[in-house]
Amino acid sequence: MAMWNPWRGCKKCSEGCLHCYIHKGDAKRGINTNEIVKTKEFDKPLIKSKNGNYKMKSGLVYLCFSTDFLIEEADEWRSECWKMIKERQDCTFLFLTKRIERFMDCIPDDWGKGYKNVVVCCTIENQQNADRKLSLFQTLPIRHKCITAQPLIENVEIEKYLQGIELVVVGGESDYRARPLDYSWVLNIREQCIRQGVSFEFRQCGTHFIKDGKWYKLKTKNLRNQAKKANIDIKLKELY
């Protein structure tokens, strides 16, 4: 899979952003994350090698994983990105957003029911944002929809929003001040997915993790493999 970050920088916009790893990493390097700037790889999908082939390989492309594809500051650049996405039909472009309310203002004129090679993941972290964002998300013209509940900071009921969703990803927060993740919340979302026939993935534990009422403090390097050890993922069909 490939990564494509046509711009960098992001602004905190929801409770889930509190310990954003992009902000933390930039702070260490003295970079101002709030400044949104185009990167050198802006036109990465269209760059070709000497033999005329695209340098970026076919398949899944993680788009804007160090920013937000729908951030307002990138409005003037996004239409060019859509053109590149349309041209690269051999790639599937997947982006996460905490700004789903901006979606209809950000799509190209020929979007229709959605480009077939675009996957949109709406992120939520608590019940209030789940209700606000997912009630809108379910009405949007998008061919491939996922929900990312990470960092999950409380128990959430999302079953009524799962129709048309292909995958729900759940994860905890990574930070020494992280808000805890209770495993019962993870299992609860998993049960909701099972009832609605939606694929489910437990992506990572939280630094502070509660299981059966016991608190654990986990090392960052173990967050993902501990989640995999739980062996509770459900893959109902091949995605992308």
Beta carbon nearer to ligand SF4, 17 or 187 = 17
Nearer to ligand SF4, 123 or 192 (CB): 123
Measured distance CA(123)–CA(224) in Å, rounded: 18
Q: Which of 72, 1, 10, 82 shows the shortest CA–CA distance to 39?
A: 10
Smaller CB separation from ligand SF4, 67 or 129: 67
Toward ligand SF4, which CB reaches closer, 96 or 142?
A: 96
Residue with tokens 């930039």: 26
What 3-state DSSP class applies to 102? Answer: helix
Select from 160, 155, 221, 159 the least CA-distant residue to 183.
155
Type of residue at 165? I
| CA–CA distance, 18 with 138 (Å, rounded to integer) | 26
What is the C-alpha R_g of the chain? 18
Report in angstroms how near the CB of residue 172 gets to ligand SF4 at its nearest.
14
Least distance CB 20 / ligand SF4 (angstroms) = 3
CB of 2 to ligand SF4, least distance (A): 19
Nearer to ligand SF4, 5 or 117 (CB): 5
Helix locations, the chain, DSSP H = 21-29, 75-87, 103-106, 127-137, 183-196, 223-230
- Interface residues toward ligand SF4, by CB under 6 A: 10, 12-13, 16-17, 20, 22, 67-68, 98
Of 18 and 187, nearer to ligand SF4 (C-beta) is 18
Q: How far is the CB of 195 from ligand SF4 (least distance, A)?
A: 29
The rounded distance, in Å, linking the Cα atoms of 125 and 172 is 9
Q: Closest distance between ligand SF4 and the C-beta of residue 12, in Å?
A: 5
Least Å distance, CB 6 to ligand SF4, is 14
Scanning 62-149, the segments in alpha helix (DSSP H) are 75-87, 103-106, 127-137
